[in-house]
């Protein structure tokens, strides 16, 4: 009886270690409509391990600015994503169709902010953490 109990304890311990070592897979694709003078944001939950995010965006009508911020750096409220200083971004890219990567520390929520459109545009934003 104690051998079974010991075996069950080892199996449970191994399963918990295996569960902790797997990284959460992220793959999000979402369309946005961006208007001059406004901003949109994709909010990503904190992850228990560091993440390397791959960000791809395409704007239908011209250049936009895409910035990645730590949640803590974005002021609360509806206007926070317009008020946050671009210098606080952990990564950014301006263009019509661009790709870039950013390293996000463990347990850090992030916001991917799209703004600075010259006119109304449709934006396709794709984010993943594939290596």
Q: φ, ψ for residue 97 (rounded to 5)? A: -150, 105
Specify the CATH number for 27-128; select among 3.40.50.10490, 2.60.120.680, 2.40.160.10, 3.30.70.1520. 2.60.120.680
User: Hey, is 109 helix, strand or coil?
Assistant: coil
Contact indicator for 109, 71 with CB cutoff of 8 Å: yes
Contact indicator for 94, 64 with CB cutoff of 8 Å: yes
Domain positions in the chain: 27-128
Write out the chain's pLDDT in tens, 131 residues. Answer: 434 433 334 434 434 333 444 567 899 999 999 999 999 999 999 999 999 999 999 999 999 999 999 999 999 987 899 999 999 999 999 999 999 999 999 999 999 999 999 999 999 999 999 88
CA–CA gap between residue 94 and residue 10 (Å, rounded): 52
Can you say how many angstroms the Cα of residue 28 is from the centroid of all Cα atoms in its chain?
9
């Amino acid at each position: 009886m104690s051998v079974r109990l010991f075996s069950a304890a080892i199996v449970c311990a191994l399963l918990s270690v295996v569960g902790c070592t797997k990284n959460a897979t992220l793959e999000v694709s979402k369309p946005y409509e961006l208007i001059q003078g406004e901003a949109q944001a994709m909010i990503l939950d904190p992850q228990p391990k560091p993440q390397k995010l791959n960000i791809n965006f395409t704007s239908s009508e011209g250049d936009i600015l895409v910035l990645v911020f730590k949640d803590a750096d974005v002021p609360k409220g509806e206007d926070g994503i317009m008020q946050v200083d671009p210098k606080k971004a952990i990564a950014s890219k301006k263009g019509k169709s661009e790709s870039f990567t950013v390293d996000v520390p463990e347990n850090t929520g992030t916001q991917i902010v799209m703004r600075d459109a010259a006119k109304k545009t449709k934006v396709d934003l794709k984010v993943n953490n594939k290596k």
